[in-house]
Amino acid sequence: MKTILALEDGTIFEGQHFGAPGECIGEVVFNTSMTGYQEVLTDPSYKGQIVTMTYPLIGNYGCNVEDFESSGPKVEGFIVREYSSYHSNWRGNFSLGDFLEKHGILGIQGVDTRALTKRLRIHGVMNGIISTEDLDTASLVAKAQAFPGLEGTDLVKDVTCQTPYLWGTDALTMREDEHQEKQVDLQLPTLNHKRRELHPKFNVVAMDFGAKMNILRRLSLYGCKITVVPAHTSAEEILSLNPDGIFLSNGPGDPIDVPYAVETVRRLIGTKPIFGICLGHQILGLAFGGVTYKLKFGHRGANQPVKHLATGRVEITAQNHGYCVDIDSLTGKNITITHINLNDDTLEGIQHEELPIFSVQYHPEASPGPHDADYLFARFIELMQAEREK
């Protein structure tokens, strides 16, 4: 089925449909990961976005019941160079096309993703539309131009949990199995078996701004009992759970659009050890009085080089964000810059000079991606242990 992708600047790409037919609109971005398309599709941080995969062949290992990062796809649409309708992998349970079709996600293949990515790099991310229904290019461009975009929209409310739950017990961990959703065991093997705790030692409250499941798995494997709470939960409600530490998750959109979360985190500063990643990192930066801004095309992929300034070590990291905390805005606020992106020198990590608080812009749990930054979970454990021993 002929399918058209139109960008707001008038650029047109023609391709063929896979997944669900129809029409979708959103912010067009690109991801440079070579694998992990299922994790990308189900990452809540992509809410409101149409994702382009730069790797040319997508779908060859299918999808499975284990590699979900949420209850289902959160992207608005999916763009690939070549879709493999035939999948072959011992873990594969169903094809990528069937997965997208079931969840109503429109995919387009046959697109020159190299040309599309170069355009987004030069001109920045922009609004776009994919359609199998309206093949009038002028009409599609007009729709893309009329789309208000994501700025000023609270996307977190669409992906956060609605009620608190205890991870790993009463959490509804919805997965695919013969095209049916069911509750499954989410335990994964740890990279360091010495760190695995059979009985949790620390109570952690995770503020869910769109948390990936693998983040919660890693915290669990490091000995944490995790209570996941909605993004709108107040500081008083969080502290009433008597946590040893507080985790601020990843999530979609502009941190400026969730002022309630910024205010909650501001009230939590100085009460418990805090660890934030991605959107949680940006919210923490705002809570400290910093400023955020939108990147031209963002950092999305599993190959982003980050320098740990204290050690000089370079970590290859998994990232997915379009906003960043301005380094200069944190001057004079008792904040130490800990990590820097080596591609563009943007901020990747901070820690408070006196309080047990730190955050990073990237994903230490990866999924997909390298595990260079897994040590950050151990650091969070150490901070909670130190506070307990005071």
So which residues are the catalytic ones? 278, 363, 365
For 84, what's the count of Cα atoms within 13 Å in the CB-facing half-sphere?
15
Both tokens assigned to 278: 């991605």
CB 59 within 8 A of CB 143: no
Identify the three-state secondary structure at position 223.
Answer: coil
Sorted by sequence, the CB contacts under 8 Å of residue 81 that are 6+ apart come out as 53, 56, 57, 58, 109, 110, 111, 112, 113, 114
H/E run at residue 265? helix 259-268
Question: What are the backbone angles phi and psi of residue 239, rounded to the nearest 5°?
Answer: -70, -25
Token pair 């109503």 in the structure block, residue:
104
| CA dist., res. 79 & res. 236, Å (int) | 43
CA distances from 43 to 13, 29, 116, 279 (A): 25, 14, 22, 13
181 - beta bridge partners? 176
Identify the three-state secondary structure at position 323.
Answer: strand
327: closest CA among 311, 313, 346, 314?
A: 346
For residue 237, count other CB atoms closer than 10 A to its CB: 14
Sorted by sequence, the CB contacts under 8 Å of residue 142 that are 6+ apart come out as none
225: closest CA among 208, 248, 242, 249?
A: 242
- Listed as own residue / partner, the contacts of 311-315 with beta carbons closer than 8 Å and 24 or more positions apart are 314/342, 315/339, 315/370, 315/372, 315/373
34: closest CA among 373, 301, 343, 304?
A: 301
